[in-house]
Structure 1
Amino acid sequence: MQTPASGRTQSRPAAPPLMSELKVTLIGALLIAIGPISMALYTPALPELVRYFHTTDALVKMTVTLYFAGFAAAQLVCGPLSDGVGRRPVIVGFMLVYVLACILILFSPTIETMLAARVLQGVGAAMGIAISRAIVRDVFADARSFRIMNLMGLFIAIAPAIAPAIGGLTLEVAHWRALFAMMALAGLGAIFVAVFSLKETVQRDLSRIRPGALWASYKQLLQTPYFMLASLVIANAIGAVFALATMLPFVLMDQVGLSPTGFGFSQILQAGMYVAGAMAVQTILPRYGADRLVPVGLALVLVACLGLMILLPVWGTNFFSIMVPIAVYSFGIAFIMPAMLTNSLMPFPRIAGAASALTAFLQMAVGLLGSAVASLFQDPSLALLVVLPTMGFAAAVCWHFWRKQPVPTFHAA
């Protein structure tokens, strides 16, 4: 049985939550930020890595691309695995892999060793996005989930924007390896929080991770247009932010001429605009509802894409022609994330981990695809001009078809 698409996510009576809204938000923010930070913290050091390892720009860019690959693929494992064995043990296990990968990078003698370690690091960091969203779905099934998803979405978007500023400052006083030592410490912190602060939110049920059950869960999700279209809106909107990590360092440092520190601080504009958008959403959410904000966000995204397509050819490659459209884009996606994340998970309470994992996989896979397409262009400015508008327009198209879908009411067993 299905219900009309209006009134997409309905509140329901709930037992007292296992954890407070604030605690879930803070733990989720920590877990969810590790992945984007690990992708972007060292981006100011990309030109330095070329010189250090006596290699090429293309091979160094692969440290980002392969991280994406490991991160995206592992989503499909960590989410449903946490449905069966529990959220806490999966967090601890994957974070141990992450810390070991960071240590391997610290002692990498060649770029090839670093590439292999970055795949492993992506695998370890993969649990953050999928499991943090699943925890929200486990604990809250009402309007509070919108607020938490909004704040967690903030960390997904601003982490890769703020991280380069931190990385650039660190490079002023330390070797590039210090960046990966910082990541290792963050991983150890996540393990500490999972062991001593996080409460388990699902009952252990190993039947959920049998191959047949896993296939049934993913088959159900893949065959549900409501879920797939919602996830693709998210994947294109936020995946573009991840794809920017492989383009902006070379555009802003090599072409515009910013220093690593200057590049890092330039990203604060992007982060600040997302924060402003998220705060605006938090203010108007009770009055208008999350679903009504999505078309506003998509309109801003489309304006940003059109602005980039006009300003970059007219003004040429400079700071303002690049960062002003990106700032507007960042402001817009803050209006998209809460509703689309929550709507993608709510119909699937018993397979929330799998649903969250598949959403995160698509998000990272689209980001990886955008990065791969960008690497085909010799001119990174041209890559930016093609990739960002394509992903923004794709998000709008997916939402147009999603809004016509009925809300599924069946639940996976």
Structure 2
Amino acid sequence: MTDTVAETVADGIKRGQLLVILIVATGLGVMSMNMVLPSLPSMAREFDTSYNAAQYVLTVFLFALSFAQLIYGVVSDRFGRRPVIIAGLVIFLVGSLMSALAWNLEMLLVGRFIQGAGGCAALVLGRAILRDLFTRDQAASLLGYVTMSMVLAPMLGPALGGLFEETLGWRAGILLLVVVGVGVTALVALRLPETHYNRGESSGFGPLIRSFWILAHNRLFLCFAAVMSFTSATFFGFIGGAPYIVIELMGRSPGEFGLWAMMLAAGYMLGNFVTGRYAQRVGTRRMISFGVILGVVGATALIVMAVAGPNIPIALFGPMMLVTFSNGLVMASAVSSSVSVRPDLAGAAAGLGGFLQMGAATVATIVVGATHNGTAIPLAIVIGACASAAFLAFLAAMRFPDPIEEPGH
């Protein structure tokens, strides 16, 4: 972090305190998303269904995550960031309880949908809060630190999920999220200040649609949103298909899968550390360029290893760690760039960008499940296609001039 960013940022709260709140609130949703991954094969057996059907436990979460972000961003532009985040956390708690108590797959899917719809509030509005307070490159740098730190959630999620699966069962893991969620909700309600003061007077679907219409016709926004979306799809497509390959085909335990998955989080954390350290110095566009190139390199290596066929986890997780490192280089800068195209619509841009990002991730998980053939090759091809699309989207963004940077206030 740089000395040019004021230590006290809003209503007396210090910068570090604000970042901690955003880290824990955002990390809760991320952990709930992937904590169930090691349990997907056992869920299929418990509910007497196929793995592809059990995989919808992830897919519906991502689906809810994408559509809810359309609402949160614009509603927060009207009513403020703080009350909307609190409402999202309450919705998250309701969905988590339903998931933990589910007696069939249908109820579990409904609970996961509600859980995802609530858990994404802090995910999308954390971006808007940082853009409210800081310039574009400062926001990218701080967002890099936030995502680097909150990567502990996806790092711990599969590991904890595997541990619960082998001991107390997956329901106990979700109940843990409920307990933690109550504490996070209390922290946000007591300490998070409002950061968006220039709120519009109108509300409803009219302003929401108008905001999205403006952004949907802004080609630079769409280019950066595409970079975000395809980059995110590389990760979620992989985690949608990897549990079956590692646990069922390679015969490894859920706990071991969780430990291997920590490599992905470590790569992402390292990439975000580099972003937090250097984004403001080298600029967001250059940071994205490094990331998308490395993403293509890592995805190509993954395809080579899948075709070569070594039936060991490192053949998947090694190349994929390079892909997640590239994700860490790309995401914070792409997010900051997308919401900076129209700073007056930062909440809407965060919401629409998040919708497209999670929508692409949802499609990637569906495609991975539909193309499964008992090998890792279809999975690797999907990752390679998404990485290549992110690279091409960035090349398209480079055709447009960089907007003049303005403060986020």
Q: TM-score, normalised by structure 2?
A: 0.91
Residues 5 and 138 in structure 2, CA contact (< 8 A), matched pair in contact too: no
> Partner residue of 1:17?
9
Residues in 2 aligned to 1:15 and 1:315: alpha-carbon distance in whole angstroms: 52
- The answer as to 2:346 corresponding to 1:346 is no
> Partner residue of 2:399?
404
**Residues 24 and 403 of structure 1: is their aligned pair in 2 closer, same or farther, counting only changes over 3 Å?**
farther
- The answer as to 2:314 corresponding to 1:320 is yes
- The answer as to 2:256 corresponding to 1:262 is yes
Residues in 2 aligned to 1:298 and 1:69: alpha-carbon distance in whole angstroms: 25
SS at the partner of 1:406? coil
Residues in 2 aligned to 1:31 and 1:78: alpha-carbon distance in whole angstroms: 15
Residue number among 80, 100, 117 corresponding to 1:86 in the alignment: 80
C-alpha displacement at 1:201, in angstroms? 1.0
> Partner residue of 2:62?
68
**Residues 137 and 284 of structure 1: is their aligned pair in 2 closer, same or farther, counting only changes over 3 Å?**
closer
Residues in 1 aligned to 2:263 and 2:128: alpha-carbon distance in whole angstroms: 30
Residue number among 197, 216, 225 corresponding to 1:203 in the alignment: 197
Residues in 2 aligned to 1:142 and 1:246: alpha-carbon distance in whole angstroms: 33
Cα displacement string for residues 147-204 of structure 1 (whole angstroms, at most 9, x for unaligned residues): 2111233357664343101211223331211111122123222311221110011238
- The answer as to 2:240 corresponding to 1:246 is yes
**Residues 147 and 175 of structure 1: is their aligned pair in 2 closer, same or farther, counting only changes over 3 Å?**
same
Cα displacement string for residues 287-333 of structure 1 (whole angstroms, at most 9, x for unaligned residues): 43333222211221111111112121114342122111101111122
C-alpha displacement at 1:282, in angstroms? 3.4
C-alpha displacement at 1:23, in angstroms? 2.3
Q: In the alignment, residue 382 of structure 1 is paired with which amino acid?
A: I
C-alpha displacement at 1:235, in angstroms? 1.2
Cα RMSD, aligned residues only: 2.4
5 Å matches for 1:180-191?
180-191=174-185
Residue number among 28, 34, 38 corresponding to 2:32 in the alignment: 38
Residues in 1 aligned to 2:307 and 2:197: alpha-carbon distance in whole angstroms: 56
Residues in 2 aligned to 1:13 and 1:329: alpha-carbon distance in whole angstroms: 31
Residues in 1 aligned to 2:385 and 2:152: alpha-carbon distance in whole angstroms: 21
> Partner residue of 1:141?
135
Residues in 1 aligned to 2:97 and 2:244: alpha-carbon distance in whole angstroms: 27
C-alpha displacement at 1:16, in angstroms? 6.3
Residues in 2 aligned to 1:139 and 1:74: alpha-carbon distance in whole angstroms: 24
**Residues 279 and 378 of structure 1: is their aligned pair in 2 closer, same or farther, counting only changes over 3 Å?**
closer
SS at the partner of 1:17? strand
C-alpha displacement at 1:279, in angstroms? 2.5
Q: In the alignment, residue 380 of structure 2 is paired with which amino acid?
A: L
Residues 307 and 377 in structure 2, CA contact (< 8 A), matched pair in contact too: no
**Residues 169 and 308 of structure 1: is their aligned pair in 2 closer, same or farther, counting only changes over 3 Å?**
same
- The answer as to 2:214 corresponding to 1:220 is yes
> Is 175-184 or 258-267 further displaced after alignment?
175-184
- The answer as to 2:349 corresponding to 1:355 is yes
- The answer as to 2:49 corresponding to 1:59 is no
Residues in 1 aligned to 2:170 and 2:396: alpha-carbon distance in whole angstroms: 45
Q: In the alignment, residue 296 of structure 1 is paired with which amino acid?
A: F
Residues in 2 aligned to 1:262 and 1:203: alpha-carbon distance in whole angstroms: 48
C-alpha displacement at 1:89, in angstroms? 1.3
Residues 95 and 187 in structure 1, CA contact (< 8 A), matched pair in contact too: yes
> Partner residue of 2:380?
385
> Partner residue of 1:177?
171
Percent identical across equivalent pairs?
24
> Partner residue of 1:162?
156
**Residues 120 and 285 of structure 1: is their aligned pair in 2 closer, same or farther, counting only changes over 3 Å?**
closer
Residues 38 and 162 in structure 2, CA contact (< 8 A), matched pair in contact too: yes
- The answer as to 2:151 corresponding to 1:123 is no
Q: In the alignment, residue 294 of structure 2 is paired with which amino acid?
A: L
**Residues 389 and 21 of structure 1: is their aligned pair in 2 closer, same or farther, counting only changes over 3 Å?**
same
Cα displacement string for residues 112-159 of structure 1 (whole angstroms, at most 9, x for unaligned residues): 111111111111112122111011011112543122111233357664
